[in-house]
Amino acid sequence: MHQETLNFFDKVYDVARLIPYGKVTSYGAIAKYLGAVRSARMVGYAMNGSVGKDVPAHRVVNRNGLLTGKQHFDGTNLMQQLLESEGIKVIDNQVQDFGKVFWDPGKEL
DNA sequence: CTCTTGACTGAGG
DNA sequence: GCCTCAGCCAAGA
């Protein structure tokens, strides 16, 4: 179902909140689920305002599993710590076993 | 309305 | 596998 009543940002927040504990996904995957695979950049752009909105932005990384958005968190390694606390191994801003912890909303939903 | 920015992605060398 | 270029699109000034 497409909650078209919500704005693009709200949709992104919605999907992000659905990411299971210990899993991660990519901006493109979220965008694709929203039917806007070409707006992957907008997903990240939207996440920029996710702070303070109960959105687990730390579970969203780019297609390479790289923590491209970690610089938007308070600390320099806050995002990594959050992921590691969920059982996700992160080394040098790179999610390990990315294919195993990857969660695709387009397929899981 | 126009221009810039950006937590992206895919294709090409 | 690494680097570079181009496309895409929403929001803010």
A66 touches strand C (CB under 7 A): no
Assigned domain for A13 exists: yes
Assigned domain for A107 exists: no
Assigned domain for A109 exists: no
pLDDT, one tens digit per residue, over A37-67 is 889 999 999 998 888 789 999 999 999 999 9
Identify the residue whose Cα has the smallest distance to the C1' of C10.
A42
Host domain of residue A41: 3-101
Q: How many CB atoms neighbour CB A7 within 10 A?
A: 10
- Tell me the whole-structure pTM to 2 decimals: 0.91
Q: What is the CATH number of the domain that holds A62?
A: 1.10.10.10
Protein A4 CA to nucleic acid C4 C1', in Å? 37
Assigned domain for A66 exists: yes
Token pair 């806050």 in the structure block, residue? A78
Instruction: Work out how many domains chain A is built from and give that number.
Output: 1
pLDDT, one tens digit per residue, over A21-43 is 999 999 999 999 998 888 999 99
pLDDT value of position A1: 56
Assigned domain for A28 exists: yes
| pLDDT at residue A77 is higher than 70 | yes
Distance, CA of A69 to CA of A66 (rounded, Å): 8
Where residue A4 falls among pLDDT bands split at 50, 70, 90? Answer: low
For chain A, what is the mean pLDDT? Answer: 90
Assigned domain for A108 exists: no
